[in-house]
């Protein structure tokens, strides 16, 4: 049964979590501002809490919702990097502005979402909903299918206030 998109948006806004396609792979998503959602994601992924989660945003301006002021140099670098499959670390938070229009529309309604890959730590990311259900079963609140996704994780870079770039992946 395919969940209705409006219901999925309501679930996410209320602190629920689910599996849905991102611009790279299937993600295990939840509100970036819900402590409960973030804790559930770490728990069901069996993820080390020292590993940060990538935050998907619908616009560069959303970075400010995290109390971060970007410099003009950082803004220029971000503007030339996004939208796309690059996650950028600013003040120890990794943000990604996806190019996928349908995902942007969801993010506009839900606000920023954390979105690590849909897999328990150490296993391959789910390539489809069937595989994701084997991983997570009823531990998530919804599954949104996007067919088979065999992408690569996003590239990760860090841009400091002066515009220096360090590449991690």
Q: How many whole angstroms separate alpha carbon 65 and alpha carbon 120?
A: 29
Q: Enumerate the domain spans of the chain.
A: 5-167
Phi-psi region of 122 (alpha: psi -120 to 50; beta: other; left: phi over 0): left
By C-alpha distance, which of 37, 150, 59, 157 is closest to 109? Answer: 59
**Predicted confidence (pLDDT) per residue in 134-169, tens digit:** 999 999 999 999 999 987 888 999 998 888 889 987
Tell me which CATH homologous superfamily contains domain 5-167: DHBP synthase (3.90.870.10)
Instruction: Please tell me the predicted confidence (pLDDT) of residue 48.
Output: 92
Q: Which pTM does this prediction carry? A: 0.94
**Predicted confidence (pLDDT) per residue in 79-97, tens digit:** 999 999 999 999 999 999 9
């Amino acid at each position: 049964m395919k969940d209705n998109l409006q219901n999925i948006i309501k679930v996410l806004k209320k602190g629920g979590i689910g599996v849905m396609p991102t611009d790279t792979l299937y993600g295990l998503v939840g509100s970036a501002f819900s402590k409960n959602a973030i804790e559930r994601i770490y728990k069901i992924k069996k993820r080390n809490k020292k590993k940060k989660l990538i935050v998907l945003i619908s616009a560069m301006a959303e970075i400010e919702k995290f109390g971060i002021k970007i410099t003009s140099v950082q803004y220029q670098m971000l503007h030339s990097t996004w939208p796309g499959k690059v996650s950028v670390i600013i003040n120890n938070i990794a943000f990604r502005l996806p190019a996928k229009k349908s995902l942007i529309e969801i993010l506009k309604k839900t606000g920023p979402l954390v979105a690590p890959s849909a897999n328990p730590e150490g296993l391959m990311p789910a390539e489809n909903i069937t595989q994701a259900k084997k991983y997570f079963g009823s531990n998530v609140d919804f599954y949104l299918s996007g067919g088979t996704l065999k992408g690569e994780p996003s590239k990760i870079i860090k841009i400091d206030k002066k515009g220096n770039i360090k590449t991690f992946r």
